């Protein structure tokens, strides 16, 4: 039976500080490290070990993956990193305190930027502090200056279909360690969640979500591994 395991990175420093993070490369906290290890131990205890892993180009997701695989005793499995599994780009909101942003622009406007399906935040200015255009890991990539959830889905799903689905068709158990919005894109696709409903879906840090799939990759079951 092919299985897909989705794991949001452990708590990051900017999660803790309640700041918009997006593509900015922020590390996990001590709590985030513990969450990642606990996820790996849970995979081992439940006998649900992945054969192959995928992650983004962002430290918090990569470190979460490595800590989880180490805890599970399978640090050696093949892994692939790709920018298309990155978090949604928060544009000009990057680095801002969420509460202060709400006080400045109003709760309703911030809710639109954070939770609407197809309305992106303000564009990040080229050359500003959080512009990653010159980051060597994104060489040759047209780095976005802002993204809506719809934009994020438009890069995540083709990558899923082209790079992850072949492993699932081969019957593998695949682990994807990524971010709230890139994983939200996969959950929306797999579970058939509407545009309106997906914006309200919260994906907790460090909690493996398991999809049991049939040979045609139709979903048989979806559950948090901690609840089984």
Which residues are identified as catalytic?
A: 9, 87
What is the C-alpha to C-alpha distance for residues 92 and 80, in angstroms, rounded to an integer? 29
What is the C-alpha to C-alpha distance for residues 92 and 96, in angstroms, rounded to an integer? 8
Report the candidate in 210, 142, 120, 224 with the shortest Cα–Cα distance to residue 173.
210
Report the candidate in 82, 44, 49 with the shortest Cα–Cα distance to residue 164.
82
What is the C-alpha to C-alpha distance for residues 14 and 21, in angstroms, rounded to an integer? 6
What is the C-alpha to C-alpha distance for residues 158 and 47, in angstroms, rounded to an integer? 30
Strand, helix or coil for residue 99: helix
What is the C-alpha to C-alpha distance for residues 170 and 8, in angstroms, rounded to an integer? 24
For 13-39, letters b (16+ CB in 10 Å) and e give ebbeeebbbbbbebebbeebbebbbbb
Give Cα 119 distance to the centre of its chain.
Answer: 19
């Amino acid at each position: 039976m092919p299985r897909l395991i989705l794991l949001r990175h452990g708590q990051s420093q900017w999660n803790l500080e309640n700041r918009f993070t997006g593509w900015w490369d922020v590390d996990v906290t001590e709590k985030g490290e513990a969450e990642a290890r606990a996820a790996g131990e849970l995979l081992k205890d439940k006998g649900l070990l992945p054969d192959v892993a995928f992650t983004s180009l962002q430290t918090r997701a990569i470190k979460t993956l490595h800590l989880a695989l180490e805890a599970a005793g399978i640090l050696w499995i093949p892994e692939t990193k790709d920018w298309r599994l990155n978090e949604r780009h928060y544009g000009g909101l990057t680095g801002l305190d969420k509460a202060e942003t709400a006080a400045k622009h109003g709760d309703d406007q911030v809710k639109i930027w954070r939770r609407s399906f197809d309305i992106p935040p303000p564009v990040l200015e080229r050359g500003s502090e959080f512009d990653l255009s010159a980051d060597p890991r994104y060489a040759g990539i047209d780095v976005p200056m802002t993204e809506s959830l719809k934009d994020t889905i438009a890069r995540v799903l083709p990558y899923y279909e082209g790079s992850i689905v072949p492993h699932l068709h081969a019957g593998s158990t695949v682990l994807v360690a990524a971010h709230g919005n890139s994983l939200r894109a996969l959950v929306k696709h797999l579970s058939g969640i509407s545009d309106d409903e997906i914006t309200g879906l919260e994906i907790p840090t460090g909690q493996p979500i398991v999809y049991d799939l049939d040979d045609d990759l139709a979903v048989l079951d979806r559950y948090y591994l901690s609840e089984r």
